[in-house]
Amino acid sequence: MQIGLVGLGKMGGSMRERLRGAGHTVIGYDTNPALSDVPGLVDLVQGLDRPRAVWVMVPAGGATQHVIDQLSTLLKPGDIVVDGGNSRWTDDEKHAKELHARGIGFVDAGVSGGVWGLQNGYALMVGGDDEHIDALKPVFEALKPDGPYGYVHAGKVGAGHFAKMVHNGIEYAIMQAYAEGWELLEKADSVDNVREVFRSWQQGTVIRSWLLDLAVNALDDDHHLEKLRGWADDSGEGRWTVEAAVDNAVPLPAITASLYARFASRQENSPQMRMVAALRNQFGGHAVKK
Amino acid sequence: MQIGLVGLGKMGGSMRERLRGAGHTVIGYDTNPALSDVPGLVDLVQGLDRPRAVWVMVPAGGATQHVIDQLSTLLKPGDIVVDGGNSRWTDDEKHAKELHARGIGFVDAGVSGGVWGLQNGYALMVGGDDEHIDALKPVFEALKPDGPYGYVHAGKVGAGHFAKMVHNGIEYAIMQAYAEGWELLEKADSVDNVREVFRSWQQGTVIRSWLLDLAVNALDDDHHLEKLRGWADDSGEGRWTVEAAVDNAVPLPAITASLYARFASRQENSPQMRMVAALRNQFGGHAVKK
Amino acid sequence: MQIGLVGLGKMGGSMRERLRGAGHTVIGYDTNPALSDVPGLVDLVQGLDRPRAVWVMVPAGGATQHVIDQLSTLLKPGDIVVDGGNSRWTDDEKHAKELHARGIGFVDAGVSGGVWGLQNGYALMVGGDDEHIDALKPVFEALKPDGPYGYVHAGKVGAGHFAKMVHNGIEYAIMQAYAEGWELLEKADSVDNVREVFRSWQQGTVIRSWLLDLAVNALDDDHHLEKLRGWADDSGEGRWTVEAAVDNAVPLPAITASLYARFASRQENSPQMRMVAALRNQFGGHAVKK
Amino acid sequence: MQIGLVGLGKMGGSMRERLRGAGHTVIGYDTNPALSDVPGLVDLVQGLDRPRAVWVMVPAGGATQHVIDQLSTLLKPGDIVVDGGNSRWTDDEKHAKELHARGIGFVDAGVSGGVWGLQNGYALMVGGDDEHIDALKPVFEALKPDGPYGYVHAGKVGAGHFAKMVHNGIEYAIMQAYAEGWELLEKADSVDNVREVFRSWQQGTVIRSWLLDLAVNALDDDHHLEKLRGWADDSGEGRWTVEAAVDNAVPLPAITASLYARFASRQENSPQMRMVAALRNQFGGHAVKK
């Protein structure tokens, strides 16, 4: 089928390639002319036969809002917009309403797979009405991994991004789990070769996983990760997961601890620990570092 | 090769079967005569040619200590004892010393794989001297999974159990991660079918893993886990992981949160939350439940 | 001075009393006629000389919004509204703007002190412009505790509620701290009388505090808190504190743990722990409770 | 009464002064001759009339063990040793047994008050038999704060140090609570003067406490704690509290989070966060810092 694809960065660019590989016709637009198939969004829309499908793959927030605002005026009733970016699930209902008012359908798609997606396929969690999702089936089939899994219609509008958000929250805690274990093993006197312990876990253990495989890859590149700084960014979904937990009164101790570990990793001179140091000094005369 | 196997419970019994399937001669002893190949530990020892290897697979603590004490008098210099139970790594050095004083070798083996080990093989993390471990290679080869991974000589005596302990600590946090995410998804209005979301994650996602596959199995048995109580035991290794972290000043926020969630799950009427309720009532006149 | 007071519940009613005790003229309005000085909000406004000050002390959210909407039409330029309820700080700017458009001033006031405020005075954290706050000084002076502390102009509009919110977040963690320590002491074999240990801490220790005094009161009422259920509600500010932390990338491990402990205390059969139990059963055949 | 005091450091030195101020006869011994009243421990023991009482105030662990070993040979049946250091409660029973075998009594005393103890008195939590504790009453009375609180006979041998340990665990979490709140307030756009907010909390609030007073002192010295590094040591009791919690299956999320925050504060380049960064880079091509 034909599809418009807005945003041809690391993810969007690979998705165009995978879609074309599957025989679909993709018209891609990016603000960077070197990546773009057409000079503008208008050209993208005009290049597609109706009813059109346009997949938006740009940064969450302002950029996505901007593209959706433009598409709401360029598209016609019966067309469909897919937001495949990392939008907050609360934006989806707003976008769906805005487009619905003009007769345009909306589907939200959480996309996982990172830089490996081109090769392995992208896991897709989608939300929206059956009719819109059915219309997009060929595209979802082309993007998803081969095999029985990797795609789900999770529920109504917002469910795709909500599921993807929770996926990322889980991801934070699993990464933190391996990271904590790795640090403790590195500290143990008796253990000679932590990398080989991790490698051995890839079969037969309860904790075998793709992230474990990646950890072994990373340790093969840099045996003790000595070239890296202990600095980890976070990308929105982890924060939203905690916010959703607070909204729903669901305790998420491990996921939240993982998010907070990232916050702390980016602080040069922790204000709260300066206060703890100051208090220890006040009552006990304990040494502080200046 | 020949090997004595002490303890023929859920794990030991399956290991005997896997070892025999690989062509080894196993003399098994268990205090339960219905399971045992021989009437007593003496018979087990006498049935093996020297130098002998005896694998101990009994509960950690007193039971293991008791068997090792007996073996230290029954075995001869050049023989080797393997502790494949879930012993605390700090016991290993003590056991090694006790046996070494009589010329007997000692190897500690952390064994993962649970009820799936018979079929898939057991992941093994072993600690000890090269000569003892080399002597046991055929046994390790038979027990481990087919394929390149699933076995590691982690370091000196104690390293096997330390590595297994950390493995279990990581396991706690990964299980907690999926569990937290599952609860949050179950609370979300937009998501219709959490089980199908979990199922879809089995391919293409960053969080695909064996534990995820098991979660899907569990949800296939009981769609919303309504037949279960939210009650989770813990088995020693999680606690020792936290103790090792405290000893080494390594922060383990996610693993510890996972252990504490299990502690809390077993409390009928949390004392600490009664104090919190009492304090809220004291200063704010807030309602309490009696 | 004259002041209108809207909302005469547990807090508002005591504040009226304290203000009158200090010689101020208070016209109180409540939807409950038994508590109210006047039949309606219109009467309250008409009863005050201009420029008027009206203190709103009703539940945060819809109720506060409703009163402010009404006051914005009833009051005149030069009048001032104080929101002394537990509003989210993000509402303050919205309310200030709405009132400013009609020439009406706005001050947000975080009020602490609970049921003890009538006797001890209310701690006040206020946000807003100097001119509005200066106009209200006599009221603040009457409400605050005697002595040098208990009142602060924290910053611009929103700062009062933000400071009060953080106060409550800290309060959650301090309560949790005593509660955790109490539970551990109750478990210790060697300690005979935990209540007397708590009592002794009221002098000379690093952890003496008003909340400790209240803990002793509670234990005097019910030596082992056996009449209570371990069930603790939360009131908004704890959640907002975590949300503000997430917004600002500030790690709040102890405060968040305290909030989550409350969430968990209200769950009869924790979904996440059912998943943990299910996973343990899947891989290890571990017993579950049904 | 007469008492021997071994260890005249920051704490021991002040205690000697307070005891003498109360009219007691103190013979102090320290390995530093400049502080010591007598040349050796033998002289201290010989200088006291029988039955003697000797208070040990030296670092926990080896130093305390060494002094108790010496005293067990120098003292006579009917004498009493008090360990007022920060010993682990599990050492107390061992020490009591060693001394009991020679007819010497043992009391463990947890002492709080830090550098303020000389002026305000020391809070005391003591464990041991009634007869030994009765014999020491005059000393406890002299050391404790004036007023009704600040002293408790918590239970049998070990109870004093256990109670003091839990006191310190609580202290960790209360300090962390204020520290977290302070950092969040410092980040808030609307709040002008965090120090004045803290100062205002000293009256009328739910969170007023001695540690809050100390926080204000610290902020008066250094308005934004800019002269300090966010580096906080820990002193044993926090770790033992977590170990005791793990032993007793008591969840201590806030106290443990506070301990871990200190561990993390002392790491220059967190190993676990290097692993998290490495994993993010592996699957998502996310930027890392080198």
Catalytic residue among B144, B156, B164, B289: B164
Q: How would residue B113 be classed by pLDDT, with cut points 50, 70 and 90?
A: confident
Residue C173 pLDDT? 98
Over residues A18-51, the pLDDT tens digits come to 999 999 999 999 999 999 999 999 999 999 999 9
Residue D235 pLDDT? 86
The pair of structure tokens assigned to B139 is 């046994």
Catalytic residue among D164, D227, D289, D290: D164
In A53-195, at which residue ranges do the beta strands (DSSP E only) sit? Answer: 53-56, 80-83, 105-112, 123-127, 151-155
> Is pLDDT above 90 for B290?
no
Strand C53-56: give its sheet, edge to edge.
C25-29, C2-6, C53-56, C80-83, C105-112, C123-127, C151-155
CA–CA separation, A188 and A100 (whole Å): 59
> Is pLDDT above 90 for D258?
yes
Chain A interface includes B285 (CB < 8 A): no
Mean pLDDT in residue range D83-101: 97
Most B CBs within 10 A among C191, C227, C228, C256, hence the mutation to make, goes to C228
pLDDT less than 70: residues of chain C: none
> Is pLDDT above 80 for D278?
yes
Residue A288 pLDDT? 80
CA–CA separation, B174 and B180 (whole Å): 10
Residue D287 lies in a domain: no
Residue C7 pLDDT? 98
What is the percentage of chain A residues whose pLDDT exceeds 70?
100
Residues composing chain C: 290
Cβ neighbors of A38 (< 8 A, separation 6 or more) are A27, A28, A29, A44, A47
CA–CA separation, A206 and B110 (whole Å): 13
Do B270 and B216 belong together in one domain? yes
Half-sphere exposure in the Cβ direction for B9 (13 Å, CA):
12
For residue C275, the SS3 value is helix
The pair of structure tokens assigned to D146 is 């004036």
Q: Report helix angle C89-100 to C159-187, nearest 10.
A: 160
B and D: number of Cβ contacts within 8 A: 43
CATH of the domain at B219: 1.10.1040.10
Mean pLDDT in residue range A236-247: 97
Identify the residue whose tokens are 């859920």: B10
Residue D286 pLDDT? 79
Residue D235 lies in a domain: yes
> Is pLDDT above 90 for D285?
no
Nearest chain D Cα to A216, which residue? D279
Neighbour count for residue C249 (Cβ, 10 Å)? 16
Over residues A174-192, the pLDDT tens digits come to 999 999 999 999 999 999 9
Label each residue of chain D as H, E or C: CEEEEECCCHHHHHHHHHHHHCCCEEEEECCCCCCCCCCCHHHHHHHCCCCCEEEECCCCCHHHHHHHHHHHHHCCCCCEEEECCCCCHHHHHHHHHHHHCCCCEEEEEEEECHHHHHHHCCEEEEECCHHHHHHHHHHHHHHCCCCCCCEEEEECCCHHHHHHHHHHHHHHHHHHHHHHHHHHHHHCCCECCHHHHHHHCCCCCCCCEHHHHHHHHHHHHCCCCCCCCCCCCCCCHHHHHHHHHHHHCCCCHHHHHHHHHHHHHCCCCCHHHHHHHHHHHHHHCCCCCC
C199:D154 CB<8 A: no
Residue C38 lies in a domain: yes
The pair of structure tokens assigned to A125 is 């969690």
**Which among D136, D212, D149, D205 is positioned nearest to D177, based on CA atoms?**
D212
**Which among A110, A146, A136 is positioned nearest to A125, based on CA atoms?**
A110
Residue C35 lies in a domain: yes
Catalytically annotated residues of C: 164
Residue A172 pLDDT? 98
Q: How would residue D287 be classed by pLDDT, with cut points 50, 70 and 90?
A: confident
Chain C interface includes A269 (CB < 8 A): no
Residue B142 pLDDT? 97
> Is pLDDT above 90 for D237?
yes
C263:A243 CB<8 A: no
> Is pLDDT above 80 for B46?
yes
Q: Which of B156, B182, B214 is the last residue of a domain?
A: B156
Q: Which of C117, C137, C156 is the last residue of a domain?
A: C156
Tell me the torsion sign for CA atoms C58, C63, C64, C67: negative
Mean pLDDT in residue range A151-173: 98
CA–CA separation, B254 and B73 (whole Å): 44
Residue B47 lies in a domain: yes
Query: What is the number of domains present in chain A?
Result: 2
Do A229 and A247 belong together in one domain? yes
Neighbours of chain D (3+ CB pairs under 8 A): A, B, C
The pair of structure tokens assigned to A102 is 């003009």
Do B139 and B251 belong together in one domain? no
Do B178 and B268 belong together in one domain? yes
Chain B interface includes A207 (CB < 8 A): yes
Do A139 and A179 belong together in one domain? no
CATH of the domain at C133: 3.40.50.720
How many angstroms separate the most distant Cα atoms in chain B? 77
D266:B249 CB<8 A: yes
> CB of B247 within 8 A of CB of D88?
no
* Alpha helices for C22-110 (secondary structure H): 41-47, 62-74, 89-100
Residue D285 lies in a domain: no
pTM: 0.96
B250:D239 CB<8 A: no
> Is pLDDT above 80 for D115?
no
Q: Report helix angle C130-143 to C10-21, nearest 10.
A: 90
> Residue C17's Cα: distance from chain center in Å?
19
Distance from CA of A123 to the nearest CA of D (A): 13
* Alpha helices for C48-158 (secondary structure H): 62-74, 89-100, 117-120, 130-143
Q: What is the DSSP secondary structure assignment for residue A250, as one 8-state letter?
A: -
Chain D interface includes A183 (CB < 8 A): yes
B187 catalytic residue (yes or no): no
Do B46 and B149 belong together in one domain? yes
Do C16 and C130 belong together in one domain? yes
ipTM of the complex: 0.96
> Is pLDDT above 90 for B114?
no
> Is pLDDT above 90 for D166?
yes
Mean pLDDT across chain B, nearest whole number?
Answer: 96
Over residues B152-188, the pLDDT tens digits come to 999 999 999 999 999 999 999 999 999 999 999 999 9
Q: How would residue A289 be classed by pLDDT, with cut points 50, 70 and 90?
A: confident
List of chain A residues whose C-beta atoms are within 8 Å of the C-beta of residue B265:
none
Parent domain of B199? 165-280
- For β-strands A123-127 and A105-112, DSSP reports them as antiparallel
> Is pLDDT above 90 for A290?
no
A271:D229 CB<8 A: no
Residue C42 lies in a domain: yes
Most B CBs within 10 A among A200, A237, A263, hence the mutation to make, goes to A200
Neighbour count for residue D78 (Cβ, 10 Å)? 12
B279:C253 CB<8 A: no
> Is pLDDT above 90 for B289?
no
D167:C207 CB<8 A: yes
**What's chain D's Rg over C-alpha atoms?**
23
The pair of structure tokens assigned to B209 is 């893993």
Cβ neighbors of A153 (< 8 A, separation 6 or more) are A126, A127, A128, A130, A133, B196
Chain C interface includes B285 (CB < 8 A): yes
> Is pLDDT above 80 for B215?
yes
B261:C276 CB<8 A: yes
Chain A interface includes C263 (CB < 8 A): yes
Cβ neighbors of A75 (< 8 A, separation 6 or more) are A45, A52, A54, A81, A99, A102, A104
**Which among D60, D189, D32, A273 is positioned nearest to C251, based on CA atoms?**
A273
Q: Which of A156, A188, A204 is the last residue of a domain?
A: A156
Mean pLDDT in residue range D33-39: 97
Q: What is the DSSP secondary structure assignment for residue C191, as one 8-state letter?
A: B
**Which among B210, B175, C278 is positioned nearest to A212, based on CA atoms?**
B210
> Is pLDDT above 80 for B221?
yes
Chain C interface includes D190 (CB < 8 A): yes
> Is pLDDT above 80 for B287?
no
Do C63 and C171 belong together in one domain? no
Residue D114 pLDDT? 76
> Is pLDDT above 80 for D221?
yes
Chain D interface includes B244 (CB < 8 A): no
Do A151 and A170 belong together in one domain? no
Do D150 and D21 belong together in one domain? yes
CA–CA separation, C247 and A243 (whole Å): 10
Do C182 and C82 belong together in one domain? no
> Is pLDDT above 80 for D37?
yes
CA–CA separation, C8 and D84 (whole Å): 54
Residue C287 lies in a domain: no
Do A79 and A99 belong together in one domain? yes
